[in-house]
Copies of this chain bind each other. A is one copy, B any other.
């Protein structure tokens, strides 16, 4: 067994498999120490974190991860079915299938379909991906690319720049759609960032993640990936989207706009929810349904522009009772160019912050206001506090999500210098991030 077809496994698993002469793709029978017998097809490694776990695809279609410590013996039942039997060879351009590029951001999906792990391991090839999720072979001609190899909580605006460039390259090279496999922790921040960086996208760009490791029977990895690739390949729309489970069952996925989605549960498969808007569509089995009237259709490359700069001197600050002005002052001292507040209620901050906010604005820092209520709109003309904050120069952001506002401000500061112009653009609806114009 060479490294090339190790399926990503290392020792002790490779040694274990070699006893039976088994390799990835083989049908094997495992005698378990508890007396059970489990049969299935040996899949490539799905997680870096557990070097003693092998993954089998069971006859019922589920994947299961099993510790080799629980296995008493392994028997080869049927030798490596030819890859072309499990999946067609990677379709040539003559296949007639759309081209989809899958970009991995954590070395993850495009290597292991584990949306968390950031271990430095070889990326999964398209061949291996077809093996793990055979359904993909009928959907698209897939190219995989691992762009970086970090947990999504370690991504920064600098990574957004690089990712936007990679997506643009894939589009310019002819991809009919792009799938970005992403850790779920910050997927909604990245979705917003890409939405701003990629103007007049001609194709769909779909971020997809998983709330369950793919070695667990309840994993949503494969279904989410199939839906994302299906949408990227076939949906007649353009823009940046997030595709994830619609509910707790595996029957339906929701397509969220990249600027209208937020992670709202730590662990549920339907953690991602559209906020202050309606999802762009749903995917049920092979059927893609788009929201009636949903506008941005696939279009020509005219006007497609990459604006990939993001400024890291931006902060997102949640307001709370007793918040100290020293936090604002500290940001100013560190050269901060923009602050997005998550205010209380309709967009309020305590009066004892006003002096530091005034100081920030007078230094040319763009200070903007969203609400920690998440749902609804900032309305800063209703009460004294809001009106006084407006007088200080705070920019009201209507129903824009704070995470989206943060990405937008980082992006605007990457392309503009004039605070007044940036403030004007912050309160303008550029990509659907701001629907409630009454309130601005």
A interface residues, Cβ below 8 angstroms from B: 49, 116, 151-160, 183-186, 189-190, 263-268, 271, 312, 314-324, 326-327, 330-331, 333-334, 342-352, 371-379, 383-385, 403, 406, 410
Contact = CB atoms under 8 A, between A and B. Distances in A.
Nearest to A349: B153
Contacts of A347: 266
A321 to B, nearest CB: 5
A317 B319 CA distance: 9
Nearest to A373: B266
A409 B383 CA distance: 31
Contact of A321 (B157, B267, B318, B376): B157
A376 B264 CA distance: 8
A94 to B, nearest CB: 41
A399 to B, nearest CB: 8
A313 to B, nearest CB: 9
Given A266-B345, A324-B334, A376-B268, A385 B153 contact: yes
A323 B343 CA distance: 18
B377 A267 contact: yes
A264 B374 contact: yes
A315 B324 contact: yes
A310 B374 CA distance: 27
A385 B351 CA distance: 37
Nearest to A375: B265
A112 to B, nearest CB: 14
Nearest to A313: B324
A319 B153 CA distance: 9
Contacts of A316: 318, 320, 323
Among A154, A265, A320, A384: residue with most chain B CB under 10 A:
A320
A156 B344 CA distance: 13
A349 B186 CA distance: 11
Given A264-B374, A377-B266, A318 B318 contact: yes
Contacts of A326: 330, 334
